[in-house]
Structure formats: C-alpha cells, structure tokens
Amino acid sequence: MAHDFPFLARQFRTRGEPTDIAAVPVGHINDTFLVATGSNRYVLQRINQIVFTKPVEVMANVARITGHIRTKMETAAPGSASRQLAVVATKDGNAYYQDAAGNVWRMYNFIENAVTYDSLQSAALAREAARMFGWFQSMLVDLPGPPLYETIPGFHNTPRRFERFREVVKADAANRAKDTKAEIEFVFANAAICHVLYDLVKRSEIPVRIAHNDAKINNVMFDTGTSEGVCVIDLDTVMPGLSVYDFGDLVRTATCPAAEDERDLSKVAVDPQLFEALAQGFIEGAGPFLTPAERQHLVFGGLLITFEQMIRFLTDYLAGDVYYKVHRDDHNLDRTRTQMKLVRSILGQEESLNRLVERAL
C-alpha cells in the first residue's frame, strides 16, 4: 500500500517543512520512518492496528507518560528534558493523524547523538540499560490520574498465552507441528513457569505498577559520546505490569551477545557477568521502591519473560506467521530456538544468578 509521505509529514507541527522521508527497518510491529526538515529530524510511525486495536488509547497513554516524564525532568535535570520522547502534535493539535484509509500515524522528536543496540557485550552498557529501565519505572510511580489503558489486554498473562499455544498446536493451521516436536514438548514440560507470577498477583503478594512491558535492550538509547543512558523509547506497551517483567526482558535481550534470531545456538547463553551488571543497574534505578517479593523474583522474571517469548514466537510460527514481521523462511522458528536455549541457560544457572542478585542488593 503506497502512502503519501510528504502529505502525512505535513500534518504535524514540525519545525520547518519536511524535505526527506526514509523508512527505518526496526521493530517487529509498527512501521517507522525518519523525517527531516532541514534543521530538525523526527520519527513518523504507523501504528500496527492488528496488534494495537485501540490506537487512540495507546496515544492517550503515550501523551500522559511523555508529558509526565518531561515535566519531572525539567526540574530534576533540565538539560536532559529535551532528550526525552515527546509527541509532536498534528496541526489540529491532536496526538495522532488518521488518514483516509484509517491508518493511525504519530510523530516523535528524533533523539540526536544517541544510539540503540540490538545486543550487548559490554557490562557497563548492560548496567546502564538496566538502570535506565529502573529509572523509567521510578519516574512513573507518581503518575497522577486513572490507571493507564491496557493497550494489549493480557499482554503478559502467561497462563492465557499458554492456553492459546495449546489451541494453536491442536489446530496446526500451517501444518508445522511435525517440524517442531522438540520445541512443543519443551513448552509443555515447563508449563508450570507460566503460573508463578500470575498467582502472586492474584494473591496480591507482588505489586502491579506501571511497567514498560517491552524492555528489550534496543528500547533504551545511549549517548554516542558518553555512553550514558538518555531515554527509554517504544512506549506503546507502557501500562500496568510487574517491575520484574522489565528486568526479565533485559535478561532475555542483554545478557547474551547473540541476536534474537541467531541460527548458531552455540552462541546463545546467558553470560553471568552481563547478568550481574544488569542486576546492579536495575537495583540502582529501581531498588529504592522494590518490595522483597520483587527482589526475590528478578531472576524468575528473566525466566518467565524468555519462556513467554518462546511461546509467543512458536505460537506465531505454528499459526503461519501472522503476528511478527518475518524476513526469511522459518524466522519465527529460529527465534523460538534462541529463546528455548536461553530458558535452558537460565534454568541451568538459576541458583548462581540468584546469588548474584543477592550480592547486588
């Protein structure tokens, strides 16, 4: 589908007229474009409405979150406030533009002199990334007003994800179950992982707060000069969640230098040094408000989120690649296998990783 990008870019209150627009091939969900106006750059995104069925609620959340963080930063660290994400309004003053075909577009400021990484090898960066996600949660503990919308209902409801997995295996719509027997068996054998945090929430033994819920390593930006964390991005799933989900997503994406879709599984394992740096950084950022139950479940958060991600990739593979963007044959299967390997790696080191958390505390 061809979009009229010059027209779309002109709907927003940019400084200067848009001159260049280029696609940026990032993310598994939304479509992202870079808009330049000569003096300034912006990020234009089309929200994936199959995934986010209520984009208006997404943008209502995003406007509240970015506004709150900016306001706090203006007092706490004025120099950094302008390097936080901000929604660029449309010329009509809205947080998004809906085109004639119903697509929902939004624009952010582009954060200059900052980079993201898809994976890490540096303990210093791992520590800084985790500190940033802890900081991000801490910024939102006092968000005023009603709870944020649940932009994807049941996003980390792992028991429900498991039930859906079970149905998809049964239906086997793409006739792929025969090629993934080992992976399917692994999910069934480890199904008990799915219920642990869910049950703690039900018994009110672990607090539901505002979490990022997609705390992948590539959703934090670092300054190109100092390597310090600048801001947290990709805010569509910021909503009620558990603190340890975010730590868990960092364990999943920042403790192993291999890519999420690496085919050589010998490269896929949790590196305890990177893990220790993560634990230190997260405790530095979020430590002041973490409850004992949250502290005790940091490693488990890594296990849960990685296992959930394995289930999600395998579910999508079995369903015929309907959710995640895929760029090659069996892409979701390759992703499934890296996650499975990581789950094994966490299970194999659970005790020693827990000791590293205790040491960091």
Q: Which of the listed partners (ligand GN1, Mg ion, none) does 161 bind, with a CB threshold of 5 to 8 Å by partner kind? A: none
* Contact yes or no for 233/212 (Cβ under 8 A): no
Collapsing DSSP to helix, strand or coil, 135 comes out as helix
Q: Is 28 in the site for ligand GN1 (CB under 6 A)?
A: yes
Q: For residue 346, what is the enclosing H or E element?
A: helix 331-360
Torsion of CA 49, 54, 56, 60, to 10 degrees: -120
Helix axes of 123-140 and 243-254: crossing angle, nearest 10 degrees: 160
- Give the separation between CA 172 and CA 13, rounded to whole angstroms: 48
Q: How many residues bind ligand GN1 (CB under 6 A)?
A: 10
* Span near ligand GN1 by CB under 6 A; candidates 27-35, 81-89, 115-123, 293-301: 27-35
Closer CB to ligand GN1, 128 or 234, in the complex: 234
DSSP assigned state of 216 = -
Q: Which of the listed partners (Mg ion, ligand GN1, none) does 29 bind, with a CB threshold of 5 to 8 Å by partner kind? A: ligand GN1
Helix axes of 243-254 and 331-360: crossing angle, nearest 10 degrees: 110
* Span near Mg ion by CB under 5 A; candidates 17-25, 212-220, 259-267, 337-345: 212-220
Closer CB to ligand GN1, 197 or 360, in the complex: 197
Closer CB to ligand GN1, 28 or 160, in the complex: 28
- Work out how close the CB of 313 gets to ligand GN1 at its nearest, in angstroms, rounded to a whole number: 8
Per-residue CA distances from 147 to 57, 210, 218, 286 (Å): 12, 9, 26, 20
Q: For residue 176, what is the enclosing H or E element?
A: none
Q: Which of the listed partners (ligand GN1, Mg ion, none) does 345 bind, with a CB threshold of 5 to 8 Å by partner kind? A: none
- Work out how close the CB of 216 gets to Mg ion at its nearest, in angstroms, rounded to a whole number: 6
Q: Which 191-230 residues touch ligand GN1, going by CB under 6 A?
A: 214, 216
Q: Is 27 in the site for Mg ion (CB under 5 A)?
A: yes
Q: Is 55 in the site for ligand GN1 (CB under 6 A)?
A: no
- Point out which residues bind ligand GN1 (CB under 6 A): 27-29, 51, 214, 216, 234, 237, 260, 309
